[in-house]
Amino acid sequence: MKTIQYISAEKAASVVKSNDHIHLSSVASVPHSFIEALCKRADNKEFKNVHIHHFHTEGPAPYSEAKYDGILFDQGFFVGHNVRANVVAGYADYIPVHLSESSILYRNGSLACDVAVVQVSEPNSDGMVSLGTSVDCSVAAIEVAKTAIAVVNKNVPFAYGDLVHIDQFDYFMQADNELTSSTYSQPSEIDTLIGRHCAELVPDGACLQMGIGTLPNAVAAQLHNHKDIGVHTEMFADGILDLIKAGVVTGKNKKLDNGKIVASFLLGSKDVYNFIHLNKDVLMKDIAYTNNPWNIAQNPNTIAINSAVEVDITGQICADSIGTRFHSGTGGQLDFVKGATMSKGGKSITAFASRTLKGNNKIVSTLNVGAGVVTPRADAHWVVTEYGAVNLTGRSLQERAKLMISIAHPDDREMLDREAFKRFGPHYHNFEV
């Protein structure tokens, strides 16, 4: 086992050369000290045409800025809020990929990885480090990178799951920045109604996948009377932690990783990060494992709860763009939609408010021009708004239109009904659902 000798951030950044592809650990565990040193070199124009890849990152993202045009080019697997404007302007870009396949891009050589820079925990006595709150596709990046750099940070929790030995790294640097934490606003009345409708579709003993944000936390808040819930998800936050503390989560009915809480990355309060530290009930795994639909399907009664930007009356689900303007990414939505619907007793749920905060309807007759279909209509199952829940499984186009309109905002229903009549012809109104 090698002896760790630490180098400075400036020395670590010096390994980057023109045309390299760099992988960064993501979400709450971004190696900001390395990024700062890299951008100083970019300011001096010491290289050109360097590509940067990552899941969404929290905190500053200077590598995506216009001033580095031709020097640094950000190409993430997800469009976070910190790069969104630069992606829209064309100074940064997005690689559409199901998160389950992001590791595959590295492993099969579809995407180069010259330098992998990942934050890790302090090593244990066996020389193993944990990737803590953000395993994502970093394990794959470390495996294939020509140069792997570990940013050892005492604030990275030692989470079990996919660990990495220090011998897999070429260089080590130290950082002591706090991981990015996030808190979410209290659920609104609409969020609470949506959460209640979703909770009614979750049986005792179910295995949950939910995202991060106010709405997932609102769903979790409605599950406190449930029993023996399991967790197999790509990410979780404080809403799930509250269920764990309340004894609602036991995972006793899981067939895969029985009794374990499985995820790939986290974004929440420090309580969430502290919870996973040295906790053998939690497995932080490669995204290729957590998001593999076949793995997801092994657990009975898997309930996948995701959101949408807009959904048309036939069930096409847009979740990554507002028209032609990219807002987020494909993420793991379809991974879990497929996995949940293959699970015995499983359900895929798409939950969202019927209108945006600006009052625009999110159930539409047709998607906006340029909008991306993340979940095809053939894969759309349960759809939930504050006005109820409908199941599109096995329903025809005209039946779907009736169902979708029934959970649209009341002030939008007449307009949507007229549009459906135009689209489907005079026989449309003969259908009752």
> For residue 128, which amino acid is it?
M
Strand 115-120, strand 21-24: pairing: parallel
Q: Which residues contact 411 (CB under 8 A, 6 or more apart)?
A: none
Please name the residue ranges forming H helices in 24-92. 32-43, 84-89
Q: Is the dihedral of CA 153, 154, 155, 157 positive or negative?
A: positive
Tokens of 50: 């360097």
Residue with token string 């640097």 = 173
CA pair distance 376, 357, nearest whole angstrom: 25
Decide: helix, strand or coil at residue 267. Answer: coil
CB 196 within 8 A of CB 223: no
Residue with token string 């307009």 = 415
Phi-psi region of 172 (alpha: psi -120 to 50; beta: other; left: phi over 0): beta
Residue with token string 């005492």 = 154
Residue with token string 């959904």 = 311
Closest CA relative to residue 336, chosen from 376, 381, 303? 303
Tokens of 274: 């502290």
Phi-psi region of 127 (alpha: psi -120 to 50; beta: other; left: phi over 0): left
Instruction: Say whether 234 is catalytic.
Output: yes
β-partners of residue 291 are: none
CA pair distance 59, 8, nearest whole angstrom: 21
| Catalytic entry in 58, 65, 101, 234 | 234
β-partners of residue 385 are: 388
Closest CA relative to residue 146, chosen from 51, 52, 22? 22
In this structure, the number of other CB atoms found within 10 A of the CB of residue 347 comes to: 21
Catalytic residue numbers read 234
